[in-house]
């Protein structure tokens, strides 16, 4: 395995933090607006069914 530079490690850490915060924000939004969350899930499911074969 190749060694990662400090810049790459910092980028990976920041990316992980961003993804974690994004998931937390999505979960919070889903709890606050469950109907909107269901609609988003249906839209995502339709996109996957349509374009990801």
The pLDDT value given to residue 7:
93
- Cα 45 to Cα 37: distance, rounded to the nearest angstrom: 12
Number of domains in the chain: 1
**Three-state SS at 10:** helix
The pLDDT value given to residue 53:
56
Range of the domain at 19: 6-51
Report if residue 41 sits inside a domain: yes
Report if residue 44 sits inside a domain: yes
Report if residue 1 sits inside a domain: no
Report if residue 17 sits inside a domain: yes
Report if residue 16 sits inside a domain: yes
The pLDDT value given to residue 22:
95
Give, for all 53 residues of the chain, the pLDDT tens digit: 578 899 999 999 999 999 999 999 999 988 888 888 889 889 989 988 887 65
Report if residue 20 sits inside a domain: yes
């Amino acid at each position: 395995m190749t060694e990662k530079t400090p810049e790459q490690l910092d980028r990976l850490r920041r990316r992980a933090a961003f993804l974690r915060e994004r998931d937390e924000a999505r979960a919070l939004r889903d709890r606050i607006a469950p109907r909107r969350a269901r609609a988003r899930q249906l839209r995502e499911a339709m996109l996957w069914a349509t374009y990801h074969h």
